[in-house]
Chains A and B, each alone.
Chain A
Amino acid sequence: DTAVSQTPKYLVTQMGNDKSIKCEQNLGHDTMYWYKQDSKKFLKIMFSYNNKELIINETVPNRFSPKSPDKAHLNLHINSLELGDSAVYFCASSPMAVSTGELFFGEGSRLTVL
C-alpha cells in the first residue's frame, strides 16, 4: 500500500485553466505539506498544514490554495494556471506537528502548462 499517494501523476493543461492535485496519506500523520520542484530540481515548500494551522510560504501566489477535507487529505487547487506553474508538485507528510523527523513523500505530480 502506498503511504502517500498523489493523483494525477501527470497533468497537461492550457494556460488560464483551473486544476487540482489530490493527496492522501494513510500513515496517520498530523502534518501534510506541498512542495514544488522546478525544472532545475530545486525543492521549495509551498504549504504546511496540521489540521489546525495552515502555514503559507509568502512567495506562493494566491492562485494556489490547499484544501484539507480531513486529516488524511491535502489537495492543491491552482487557479488561472500560468506557464511558470509547470513543475513537479510533491505532497509529503510527517508524524508530528513540527518537522522533527522524516518527511514521507508522494511520487510527485508533473504539471505541464501549455
Chain B
Amino acid sequence: AQTVTQSQPEMSVQEAETVTLSCTYDTSENNYYLFWYKQPPSRQMILVIRQEAYKQQNATENRFSVNFQKAAKSFSLKISDSQLGDTAMYFCAFAPINNDMRFGAGTRLTVKP
C-alpha cells in the first residue's frame, strides 16, 4: 500500500518567521510526483508546490520550498516569512505513475500576528 503520513496535526508560527511541515510516504515505486496543497477556510484546494522524484534539486516557489529526501521518503515543506494568509490546512500528496493521487491527513497551520 502506498501511504502518506503527516505527523503534525497542528502547528503554529509567528508572522514573518519560518515553519517546516513534515511529510513521509511509503512506496516501492521509483518514479512518482509529490505535492503540497493548501486548503484555506474557503476550502478551495490550491497547489503550493510540486516535485518530480527523478529530480534531485528541491523545488522552490517564492517563499515555499521543499526538502526532498528520496532515500528517506521524506518531503517536508518550508514556509519562509510566514504571512497571515498562509493560515490553512496543508496536505502532502503522492502520485505514482499510472495511479491516483493519495493525500496525507493534513496539518493545520496557524500564523499568529
- Give the residues from 42 to 89 in chain B that come closer than 8 angstroms, CB to CB, to chain A: 42-45, 47, 50, 89
Given A42-B106, A43-B91, A100 and B45 touching (CB < 8 A)?
no
Q: Which of A13-21, A68-76, A78-86, A101-109 contacts B (4 or more CB under 8 A)?
A: A101-109
User: Considering only CB atoms, which chain B residue lies closest to A47 in the complex?
Assistant: B100
User: Considering only CB atoms, which chain A residue lies closest to B89 in the complex?
Assistant: A41
A98 to B103 alpha-carbon distance, docked (Å) = 16
User: Considering only CB atoms, which chain A residue lies closest to B96 in the complex?
Assistant: A99
Given A100-B95, A107-B44, A55 and B100 touching (CB < 8 A)?
yes
B35 interfacial by beta-carbon distance below 8 Å: yes
Interface size of B as a range: 20 to 34
- Tell me the smallest distance from the CB of B53 to a CB of chain A, in Å: 11
B11 interfacial by beta-carbon distance below 8 Å: no
Chain B residues within an 8 Å CB radius of A105? 44-45
Given A43-B91, A88-B43, A108-B43, A99 and B100 touching (CB < 8 A)?
yes
**Is the Cβ of A102 less than 8 Å from the Cβ of B97?**
no
User: Considering only CB atoms, which chain B residue lies closest to A103 in the complex?
Assistant: B101
Q: Which of A44, A103, A108, A110 contacts B44 (CB 8 A)?
A: A108
Name B residues whose Cβ lies closer than 8 Å to a Cβ of A.
33, 35, 39, 42-45, 47, 50, 89, 91, 93, 95-103, 105-106, 108
Number of interface residues of A (CB under 8 A): 22
Name A residues whose Cβ lies closer than 8 Å to a Cβ of B.
33, 40-45, 48, 55, 88, 90, 92, 98-103, 105, 107-108, 110
A110 to B43 alpha-carbon distance, docked (Å) = 10
A92 to B44 alpha-carbon distance, docked (Å) = 11
5 contacts between A and B (CB under 8 A): A42-B106, A98-B97, A99-B98, A99-B101, A102-B50
A14 to B99 alpha-carbon distance, docked (Å) = 35
A92 to B103 alpha-carbon distance, docked (Å) = 14
- Tell me the smallest distance from the CB of B110 to a CB of chain A, in Å: 14
Nearest 6 Cβ contacts at the A-B interface: A105-B45, A43-B103, A99-B95, A98-B98, A41-B106, A108-B43
Chain A residues within an 8 Å CB radius of B103? 42-44
